[in-house]
Amino acid sequence: MITKLFAQKMFEGFSIQRWNDRIRPIDLNEMDKSAFKMIIAYFIAKYEEQKGTVINWNKIISAGFFEFLKKVVLSDIKAPVHRKIKEEYPDEFKELNSWVVEQYDTIIDNKKILNNFSKFLSEKEDLEDINYRILRAAHKYSSYREFEIIKTLNPPSPNLEKVEKELLNDLHDFLDFKGLQLLLTKQQLFELVTIIEQLRFQVRWSQTPRIPRTSVLGHSFLVASFSFVLSYELGIELCDKRIYNNFFCGLFHDLPEAVTRDIISPVKRATKALPEIVSKIEDLILEKELYPLVDHQFIDELKYFTKDEFDNKVKIDNNIKKVEFEEINEKYNEDKYYPLDGKIIKLADEMAAFLEAYQSIQYGIKSTHINEGLTYLKNKYKETNNINGLKVKRFFKEFES
């Protein structure tokens, strides 16, 4: 199970400020950047698959997650300095990576994840690896989009022009990717991405003061990260598609809020029928405003991630079937069945919400809304222990001490 200290370490991503030496209209933090990067990586990779390219999705997911963990620990080292250490002081860079792993050694229980993290940091980057290049392209483009957000507020200067030129030069190396071409030439994919990007501007718990403020976009990456880690805690070897679905469902589960905005849980629970009514309205709006922008070859997948996303389910002959956890393990733990642990996504979602409330209280900012949210989740998981084989009480109990 995810430990309290590991969860809190990941949560620090909301407090790591980006472009901190520039005028910024909004907070730009590492959690939001990582979320947007992985969304861009998803779309770029999908277009490459259409060309017949074989994509190692687990490699992209793992690398994206591990890069985030490293960034959390090394947030004080700016990118140009990090790059110079890497290029000119390889021995020191190797020691630095070992030190990064040590920071997680006592807080990550799962040795497989820890070993994979260590292996990832010790491997030499393969510039010919399509999966690595997709992640690099997504990283560069997401940085460029942040620059576009701040550009108009900052006075023109040679330094600002230099930054823009460097970002565009970096992107030039990846123009063989169709997805990036569509984004830079502002085609339909760009319109879709700018709508999704609005999740960055939507603040969760918007009716109450809270520290740190968290966006729907950043929350989605935290949910995806929790889902990814929890997928390695289920006691069995998951097929690749199951890990893929669990991560990207976590990342896209709040996609409807890009067009409907966030409705807080107490309001959703105001009447018995309201959750279902809201869900139907969201579906209608998505069909009208968002899905027409999605490429027909992967629109069904996005719908799979956003409709009944909290149910365990599989696909059989292209028909979606809701199943129990044990049934997935016994019959459907194969790529061809497209298994998804929706109950894990729900758990990860509520773990993230719990952490948002808990951390704010730790900083001395609390309100009736925050206290009610924290109490609701504490009470819920006092009564619930086994979710898809996970003993979840341990996680919440750690926060009592």
pLDDT tens column, 60-85: 999 999 999 999 999 888 888 888 99
Contact status, residue 252 vs residue 61, Cβ threshold 8 Å: no
Q: Considering the domain boundaries, does residue 148 fall inside one? A: yes
Predicted local distance difference test score (pLDDT) of residue 69: 98
Q: What length is written for the chain?
A: 401
Predicted local distance difference test score (pLDDT) of residue 268: 59
Q: Considering the domain boundaries, does residue 354 fall inside one? A: no
Q: Is the pTM of this model over 0.75?
A: yes
Predicted local distance difference test score (pLDDT) of residue 269: 59
Residue of 219, 302, 312, 225 whose CA lies nearest to 264: 219
Q: Considering the domain boundaries, does residue 24 fall inside one? A: yes
What pLDDT, in 10s, does the model give residues 353-398? 999 999 999 999 999 999 999 999 999 998 888 999 999 999 999 9
Domain that holds residue 82: 4-199
pLDDT at 271 over 90: no
Mean pLDDT of 336-351: 98
CATH classification at residue 68: 1.10.3210.10
Using alpha carbons, list the distances in angstroms from residue 334 to 62, 313, 315, 317, 338.
20, 13, 11, 14, 7
Q: Considering the domain boundaries, does residue 263 fall inside one? A: no
Q: Is the dihedral of CA 234, 236, 242, 244 positive or negative?
A: positive
Q: How many domains does the chain have?
A: 1
Q: Considering the domain boundaries, does residue 391 fall inside one? A: no
Amino acid at 347: L
How many Cα atoms occupy the beta-carbon half-sphere of 286 within 13 Å?
22
Q: Considering the domain boundaries, does residue 278 fall inside one? A: no
Contact status, residue 104 vs residue 6, Cβ threshold 8 Å: yes
**pLDDT level of residue 125 (50, 70, 90 thresholds):** confident
- Rounded CA-CA distance 174/141 in Å is 10
User: What single-letter DSSP state applies at residue 312?
Assistant: E
Interstrand relation of 319-322 and 312-316 (parallel, antiparallel or unpaired):
antiparallel
Q: Considering the domain boundaries, does residue 270 fall inside one? A: no
Q: What angle do CA 46, 49, 51 make, to 5 degrees?
A: 120
Q: What does the block give as tokens for 311?
A: 């149910």
Residue 279: CB atoms within 10 A of its CB come to 15
Q: Considering the domain boundaries, does residue 378 fall inside one? A: no
Contact status, residue 168 vs residue 147, Cβ threshold 8 Å: no
- Rounded CA-CA distance 398/401 in Å is 6
Predicted local distance difference test score (pLDDT) of residue 388: 94
Cα of first residue to Cα of last residue in the chain, in angstroms, is 17
pLDDT at 350 over 60: yes
Predicted local distance difference test score (pLDDT) of residue 390: 94
pLDDT at 263 over 80: no
What pLDDT, in 10s, does the model give residues 20-44? 999 999 999 999 999 999 999 999 9
